[in-house]
Amino acid sequence: MTSNNLLGASPYETWVRTLKAWSQDPTISLEHLPALQDDTYSPDTANRLLHAIIDAMSAVNERWLADLGRIFDNYRDPYELGRRLVQLRPAIARSMQLASHPSLPQTFRDALQSSVRSTIERNQREFEESFETTLRHSDLPKSTREQLLRTVRENSFVRALNHEAKQTGERLVAVALPEGVHDPVERQPRHQRRIIL
């Protein structure tokens, strides 16, 4: 359900209000955003809206980078490191989701998707380089350093760009079957849709 605080008197105001809220909480629903065309606004107004979108994405990315930086101090082993890296993926997926929003003109979508992808690829590359440098100067055994670096590479943030999500914030998560129910072939938990709030 969309908060009335996100709805403005015009499509432009609705977009700006939603972007401001999204920049603080990228899990809010985007399904109410009105459709825009290339000629909906004058070039100046369209440019202001594009910059509002970029500013919102930048705010989310800055918090994401801060969370990423804290990983250096808070992991105990490769498993914990991998878990923390995976926990950072939803914000990336939501940024790409905003960039790909069907209510945006195609020209906006093309530019924003390219920007998000470049940013995440750069963040991943710089994180790997920084992490490798940190490990090189640590007292950890070589095998442990290699395992940690492999964990960082195997849990690349670039993979999050392909995560499925809906504009409501719904995404696929793994949940166990009720006790006593098993898949006769694979005998592993199945997936079903749940809403993550």
Task: Output the average pLDDT for the chain.
Answer: 81
Structure tokens at 196: 């993550």
* Phi and psi at residue 4, to the nearest 5°: -65, -20
183: region left, alpha or beta (phi > 0 left; psi from -120 to 50 alpha): beta
Q: Could you give the CA distance from residue 97 to residue 178 in angstroms, rounded to a whole number?
A: 32
What tokens were used for 172?
């696929």
pLDDT of residue 17: 95
91/74 Cα distance (integer angstroms) = 19
Q: For the segment 116-135, what is each residue's pLDDT rounded down to a tens digit? A: 999 999 999 999 999 899 88
Give the per-residue pLDDT at 105: 92
Q: What is the pLDDT of residues 135-178, one digit of tens each?
A: 888 888 999 989 999 999 999 989 887 755 454 544 434 333 33
Place of tokens 């993979």: 159
- Tell me the per-residue pLDDT of 56-86, one tens digit each, with 9 for 90 and over: 999 999 999 998 888 877 777 888 899 899 8
Place of tokens 């492999």: 150
Identify the pLDDT of residue 151. Answer: 93
Q: Under a CB-based contact definition with an 8 Å cutoff, are residues 45 and 12 in contact? A: yes
- Which residue has better confidence, 37 or 124? 124
Q: What pLDDT shows up at residue 93?
A: 87
DSSP string, 80-136: HHHHHHHHTHHHHHHHHHHHT-TTS-HHHHHHHHHHHHHHHHHHHHHHHHHHHHHHH
More confident residue, 175 or 41: 41
- Tell me the pTM: 0.74
Angle between helices 142-154 and 106-136 (to 10 degrees): 170
Write the pLDDT tens digit of every residue in 178-197.
344 333 333 333 334 333 33
* Alpha-carbon gap, residue 32 to 1, rounded angstroms: 9
Give me the residue spans of the domains in the chain.
4-162
What's the pLDDT score for residue 163?
A: 58
Average pLDDT of 91-106?
91
